[in-house]
Amino acid sequence: MDPINSAGIQEACCGDEGHDVTSFVSVCPGGLWTVQQTLMRRTIQNQPTLSVVGDAASWPSDDWPKMGSLCKVRACLKADLEGLSSESDPTIAEPTQEDCISYPRSSSSALQVPLGDWTTLRLGEGQCDVIEACVERMRAREKCEILLSPVENVPGASANQPPTEDPEISVSVELHSFTPGKESWEMSTSEKLEWVWLHKERGGARFRSGVDLWGAADSYSRALKLLITLYALGTKKEDCDCPLDPPDDDSSLSMSASEYKTLKAELHSNLSLCQLKLSQPEKARANAAKATQLEPSGPKAWYRLGQACQQVNELGEARKAFRRLLELQPESPVALRALKDLASKEKETNTQLAQRLSKMFS
């Protein structure tokens, strides 16, 4: 299970009464959750209720929240719905930036917003992956019901997930209104880079908290996805610092090819570190290898590559990575200790192999 692309839709079908039923996997500080979303479509302008997820494309794009949209949403446990005001209540204010609050994330819940209250979320920030994945398919005044259950046997998952005897949580999500946003292809280079830096900084904060490694991995992944769309930055000539945006773009932000590669390498390296701590050495190895290719002089990436290779028992590749680290940082205690530990592991492995061979031929 990949923590990046965590909200990727797995299946979609037409349920009873024309409701859209979609299943996907989402991420919270405690691990991964399976989400089954049942969306009750709202009829607009005397048009029939939509019954197939793909039909959503026939509606005007402004009918859907996009990246950067401020969304007024409310999540409630279905058992607590009685007595709550309707989403059409005229006293409910439209979403504003002042109402957008970053709430403390909790490893004991899949939902990172207060339950029962109207909350303003900025789509794309990753405050609550579950709700964002839901509302990006909704129009204003629509509701959906979601059934949450933790993905079991996932390396790195928190022990604070719900008990297995009653793992499912039934939640109602309402989207009251939202402000305009942009698809990634509609953004300028500077706008994308602002999002990249936001996710990079948020990933660092989540990692340093020590309790949100899944969220940190998600943030670094979001940053990488946007940075990859700026591939042309990495192919510019080294002496060219001109923006890639068209002349009518009022941004003065620019980035050289070397700066682009350095930033991308750092994101891959940081994601690799998260995956190492989440007991995902294969994924950590892949991201660390990308980081060393982009920035061969980056010692952290070589160390993480060595760690990942050692964990997947590629001891020869691990030795190469640690030796490269030692070349970059001669007399580095970290590199020397890593090589010493690796030598001990190789000796232990060889001893065990010799013992097995001895038994086979004795």
Mean pLDDT per 10-residue run, the chain (362 residues)? Answer: 46 53 90 91 50 40 86 90 61 86 87 92 94 92 93 63 61 94 91 95 95 95 94 56 41 73 97 96 98 96 97 94 95 91 81 70 66
Spell out a b/e string for 198-217, using b for 16 or more CB atoms within 10 Å of the CB, else e.
Answer: bbbebbeebbeeeebbbbbb
Return the closest-CA partner of residue 67 out of 121, 110, 25, 112. 121
Q: By CB neighbour count within 10 A (0-12 exposed, 13-18 middle, 19+ buried), where does 264 fall?
A: buried
Classify domain 186-354 by CATH architecture: Alpha Horseshoe (1.25)
**Cα gap 274→283, rounded to integer Å:** 10
Residue found by looking up tokens 């940075």 in the block: 227
Q: How far apart are CA 279 and CA 132, in angstroms?
A: 26
Burial 20-59 (b: 16+ CB within 10 A, else e): bbbebbbbbbbbbbbbbbbbbbeebeeeeebeebeebeee
9-181 CATH choice from 3.30.2130.30, 3.40.50.1970, 3.10.50.40, 3.40.50.10600? 3.10.50.40
Contact between 271 and 285 (Cβ < 8 Å): no
Calpha distance 189→185 (Å, rounded): 10
pTM for this model (two decimals): 0.82
Neighbouring CB atoms inside 10 A of 289's CB total 20
Find tokens 């899949």 and name the residue: 110
Phi, psi of 143 (to 5 degrees): -125, 160
- pLDDT on residue 90: 65
Which stretches does DSSP call E strand in 215-312?
A: none
Rounded to whole angstroms, what are the CA distances from 238 to 79, 82, 233, 259, 318? 60, 62, 10, 9, 32
Tell me how far the alpha carbon of residue 226 is from its chain's centroid: 12
Asked if 149 and 28 count as a contact pair (C-beta separation under 8 A), the reply is no
For the chain, the C-alpha Rg in angstroms (whole number) is 24
Q: Which pair of structure tokens corresponds to residue 268?
A: 């891959």
Per-residue pLDDT, 197 = 95
Q: Are 342 and 319 in contact (CB under 8 A)?
A: yes
Only one residue has tokens 């000796």, namely 347
CATH 3.10.50.40 in the chain is located at 9-181
Q: Which residues contact 221 (CB under 8 A, 6 or more apart)?
A: 3, 4, 5, 6, 271
Residues of the chain with CATH 1.25.40.10: 186-354
Strands (E), the chain: 9-14, 20-28, 31-40, 70-77, 118-122, 142-150, 169-178
